[in-house]
Amino acid sequence: MTNLLFDTLFNGQPELAPCLRLVDGRGTNYGELQVESARVANALSALGVQAGDRVAAQIDKSVAAVALYLGTIRAGAVFLPLNTAYTAREVEYFLNDACPTLFICRTQAKDDLLPVAQTTNTHLETLTADGTAGTWAERLQQSASEFSTLARRADDLAAILYTSGTTGRAKGAMITHGNLASNAKSLARLWEFSQDDILLHALPIFHTHGLFVAINTVMVAGASMRFLTGFDVKQVLEMLPQCSVMMGVPTYYSRLLALEAFNASRVAQMRLFISGSAPMTLETHQAFSNRTGRVILERYGMTETNMITSNPCSGERVPGSVGFPLDGVEIRITDPEANQPLELAAENIGMIEVRGPNVFKGYWQMPEKTAAEIREDGFFITGDLGRVDDRGYLHIVGRSKDLIISGGYNVYPKEIEMHIDRLDGVAESAVIGLPHVDFGEAVTAIVVRRGDAEMDESSISTALTSELANYKIPKRVFFIAELPRNAMGKVQKNVLRETYQDIYA
């Protein structure tokens, strides 16, 4: 028996073929990456990590971070990447919930996170930003370079990725070997990746987009990556002539368009630009096409499903559409009230549901939530509203939940409201997403003071800094006498969005 995901990612690529190349020119080929994954797997085994155990990591983007992911899979364990912006309090929840055997953090964060690891009975290791030092790097130096890969089947867990919940409690989406292997192979075919392709990789790798969509797809095809530690628009502009494909969130493309030097000649050798994780405005789509002569390919996916649909690589890419279902993936549009499928050809708007090998196994330790969102016939209820046009292209028209997507990151208002409402002087709050040219949507708070309490925008932002990741902190805070409500007492966020819709214009 094979290890499905690991063997899929290293399926016959020449050992000397380049895989990762850093900005300074240093590179790692497929053979070297296999050796590093063996060192990781041996180090995990030495620490008592067994098949099915969770390995959590809140570390910077580096070659060592990629090797950690691959080595964890190779050892039969479950990878748990955490956003580097999460505070110690947020990390404590994830460690308590997932109960990982090992947690690797950034060296500079050790003092803050060691008490969390001790409280949750988790072994802690450290790693520097470049992946070359720290207690974890020292362990790898002492590890053997060969490892007998553990067998894993399609249904075995490969990763747990947390996605925020509307109640404020994050949910761990259980992603299997079969989910990731099938999606990577499908995307490599659909997007016509080959060994000649070089992906400009500027995405974070604690997220589905940068970790699974980008890295897995490249590796399945035997392609390579220019590996940037983060998105620096001038650095991206400089690296584009050396690449053939770019994946990004809409914010990346709007920032490139803000540079006069970004033009058609700069991207002459690029064959494909892909955008996802958030809706792209028609204005950005058109401006990019006018400037470069290239049409951005938009696709649609979720943490729970990996990629669901995509515009074609060879064929018409429709602005505002997310294209067609991937091979083996089914979608249907249902009436949210009656839970009955709607006729697709009629372009009816309803709930998007998806079924296929890409759909996750369920939520970690949440059987009731899993049963509520995955139907008995295997269709997952995405929570997004959409329609299918007469040519079969899927269009996302809204979200049934109050999810905000800011700069490509998912933000659930309830979590932020809970923190704001606990502050002295706050009676209640409502958090909404508003149109923003750079972030797509900007997190915005509307607050009702308690009595004559004295507080301002700055005091609330400051209070939230130690509680929440930076991308969750409201860009603006407004104070009003009372929140608008309907006859049933529910806050009318649509009214708030209409009232404040132009504040970032």
CATH number of the domain within which 420 lies: 3.30.300.30
Question: Does pLDDT of 156 surpass 80?
Answer: yes
**215 in a structural domain:** no
* Average predicted confidence (pLDDT) for the chain: 93
Six-digit token string for 55: 């390995």
pLDDT at 405: 87
- CA 183 to chain CA mean position, Å: 15
Question: Does pLDDT of 310 surpass 60?
Answer: yes
**203 in a structural domain:** no
Together in a domain, 327 and 438: no
Together in a domain, 481 and 383: no
Question: Does pLDDT of 165 surpass 70?
Answer: no
Length of the chain: 505
pLDDT at 346: 65
What is the rounded CA–CA span in Å between residue 66 and residue 469? 23
| Averaged pLDDT for residues 326-353 | 82
What is the rounded CA–CA span in Å between residue 70 and residue 331? 31
CATH at residue 380: 2.30.38.10
pLDDT digits (tens, 9 = 90+) for 83-107: 999 999 999 999 999 999 999 999 9
Which of residues 190, 211, 240 is at a domain's end? 190
pLDDT at 415: 83
What is the rounded CA–CA span in Å between residue 316 and residue 210? 25
**493 in a structural domain:** yes
Together in a domain, 102 and 179: yes
What is the rounded CA–CA span in Å between residue 240 and residue 258? 16
pLDDT at 485: 82
Q: What value does the CA radius of gyration of the chain take, rounded to a whole number of Å? A: 23
Together in a domain, 371 and 410: no
Question: Does pLDDT of 445 surpass 50?
Answer: yes
Together in a domain, 171 and 115: yes
User: Which H or E run includes 79?
Assistant: strand 78-81
Give SS3 for 199: strand
Together in a domain, 381 and 477: no
User: What proportion of the chain, given as a percentage, has pLDDT over 90?
Assistant: 80
Question: Does pLDDT of 277 surpass 70?
Answer: yes
**431 in a structural domain:** yes
User: What proportion of the chain, given as a percentage, has pLDDT over 70?
Assistant: 96
* CB atoms closer than 10 angstroms to residue 332: 15
With beta carbons less than 8 A apart as the criterion, state whether 431 and 419 touch: no
Question: Does pLDDT of 166 surpass 50?
Answer: no
Highest mean pLDDT among 69-83, 276-290, 386-400: 69-83
pLDDT at 164: 67
pLDDT digits (tens, 9 = 90+) for 468-493: 999 999 999 999 999 998 755 678 88
pLDDT digits (tens, 9 = 90+) for 239-271: 999 999 999 998 899 999 999 999 999 999 999
- Assign 329 a pLDDT band (cuts: 50, 70, 90): very high
pLDDT at 494: 86
Strands (E) located in 241-365: 245-248, 272-275, 297-302, 306-310, 324-325, 330-334, 350-355, 362-363
With beta carbons less than 8 A apart as the criterion, state whether 496 and 480 touch: no
pLDDT digits (tens, 9 = 90+) for 283-299: 889 999 999 999 999 99
Give the domain range for residue 453: 404-500
Together in a domain, 68 and 104: yes
**436 in a structural domain:** yes
Map tokens 């067998």 to a residue: 151
**321 in a structural domain:** yes
Together in a domain, 465 and 396: no
Together in a domain, 384 and 419: no
Question: Does pLDDT of 451 surpass 90?
Answer: no
Together in a domain, 337 and 471: no
| Averaged pLDDT for residues 32-36 | 97
What contacts 367, CB < 8 A, 6 or more positions away? none
Q: How many domains does the chain have?
A: 3
Q: Which residue has the higher pLDDT, 411 or 7?
A: 7
pLDDT at 278: 78
Q: Which residue has the higher pLDDT, 418 or 139?
A: 139
Together in a domain, 328 and 429: no
**254 in a structural domain:** no
CATH at residue 32: 3.40.50.12780
What is the rounded CA–CA span in Å between residue 375 and residue 366? 15
Together in a domain, 133 and 84: yes
pLDDT digits (tens, 9 = 90+) for 3-17: 999 999 998 888 999
**253 in a structural domain:** no
